């Protein structure tokens, strides 16, 4: 059975001190979370060290929001997957739409990052999603399958990946995909995962939905058969809004 994964993407928010305060306040409140529930915090790179100090052995995971695809070299300002591994980082986002749009990250680079993360024994969470104009011109499935295939091209089949479907038009906009739109995209991605790695791989790979998930809409989205969790930006910044998402029941 796939876990139901609730992941926070803090983006460029929270100092190390704020991260520690948040996590120390949060942990006691999720000790009675639903079974088979995985919680992950994708924190700014500068918060990773204190985050692992607080979350180590807590049952709650953490990860980086980005990395380079080389292990070392003249890449000023970048983060090495090897160093993430040395810091005991279990997860890393790859190909978030803000990386693709603002930092010009290409499909090819996402594939290299997934490969480098697997070489470093870190589980990538690959983000895919269409823009509004791509959706309106009927290209959603082509775009997300292209991004998925490119991202997973050089993965290590013996290691795990997670996928986040994040329609770009729903991120940080307050517009949320309808549960049916989300499920349809997830069905497309699940089928593509079968093509990529076979039925066993597809069955075990969680596909999260991201895009303006909030306590008010989470239950309806979680009810969709192919939705295995949430990737949450804005609503993950406060315990009051993130906690109910972590407690959302998966009812099918």
The residue (of 40 and 235) whose beta carbon lies closer to ligand PEP is 235
Which residue blocks in the chain are alpha helix, DSSP H? 16-26, 48-55, 81-86, 97-102, 107-119, 132-136, 140-152, 179-204, 218-222, 239-246
Please identify the residue of the shown chain whose CB is closest to the bound ligand PEP.
Answer: 233
| DSSP for 59-113, written as a single string | S-EEEES---SSSSSS-TT---HHHHHHTT--EEEE--HHHHHHS---HHHHHHH
Instruction: State the nearest-atom distance from the C-beta of 129 to ligand PEP, in Å.
Output: 9
Residues in 65-104 that interact with ligand PEP by CB under 6 A: none
Of the candidates 96, 98, 109, 118, the residue annotated as catalytic is 96
In the complex, least distance from residue 170 CB atom to ligand PEP, rounded to whole angstroms: 6
Nearer to ligand PEP, 183 or 217 (CB): 217
Residue 207's DSSP bridge partners are 163
* CA nearest neighbour of 85 among 41, 38, 119: 119
Our answer to whether residue 96 is catalytic in this structure is yes
Q: Which of residues 196-235 bind ligand PEP (CB under 6 A)?
A: 210-213, 231-235
Question: Count of CB atoms within 10 A of residue 172's CB?
Answer: 13
Q: For residue 13, indicate whether it is catalytic.
A: no
CA pair distance 134, 132, nearest whole angstrom:
5
- Count the site residues for ligand PEP by CB under 6 A: 13
* Residue 6 CB, nearest approach to ligand PEP (Å): 12
Q: Which is nearer to ligand PEP, 85 or 170 (CB)?
A: 170
- Angle, CA 94 vertex, CA 24 and CA 31 arms, to 5°: 25
9 part of the interface to ligand PEP, by CB under 6 A: yes
Nearer to ligand PEP, 85 or 246 (CB): 246
Q: Which residues in this chain contact ligand PEP in the complex, by CB under 6 A? A: 9, 166, 171-172, 210-213, 231-235
């Amino acid at each position: 059975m796939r876990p139901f994964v609730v992941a926070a993407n803090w983006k460029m928010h929270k100092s190390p001190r704020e991260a520690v305060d948040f996590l120390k306040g949060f942990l006691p409140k999720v000790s009675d979370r639903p079974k088979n529930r995985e919680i992950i915090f994708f924190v700014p790179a500068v918060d990773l060290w204190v985050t692992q100090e607080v979350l180590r052995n807590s049952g709650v995971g953490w990860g980086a929001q980005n990395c380079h695809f080389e292990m070392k070299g003249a890449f000023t300002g970048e983060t090495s997957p090897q160093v993430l591994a040395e810091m005991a980082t279990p997860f890393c986002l790859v190909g978030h739409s803000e990386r693709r749009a603002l930092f010009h990250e290409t499909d090819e680079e996402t594939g290299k990052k997934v490969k480098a993360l697997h070489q470093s024994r870190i589980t990538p969470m690959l983000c895919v999603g269409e823009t509004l104009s791509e959706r309106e011109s009927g290209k959603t499935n082509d775009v997300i399958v292209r991004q998925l295939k490119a991202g997973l091209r050089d993965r290590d089949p013996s290691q795990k990946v997670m996928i986040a479907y994040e329609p770009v038009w729903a991120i940080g906009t307050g517009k949320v995909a309808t549960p049916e739109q989300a499920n349809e995209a997830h069905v497309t991605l699940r089928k593509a995962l079968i093509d990529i790695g076979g039925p066993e791989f597809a069955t075990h790979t969680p596909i999260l939905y991201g895009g303006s998930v909030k306590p008010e809409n989470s239950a309806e989205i979680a009810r969709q058969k192919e939705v295995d969790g949430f990737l949450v930006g804005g609503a993950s910044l406060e315990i009051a809004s993130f906690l109910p998402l972590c407690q959302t029941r998966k009812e099918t």
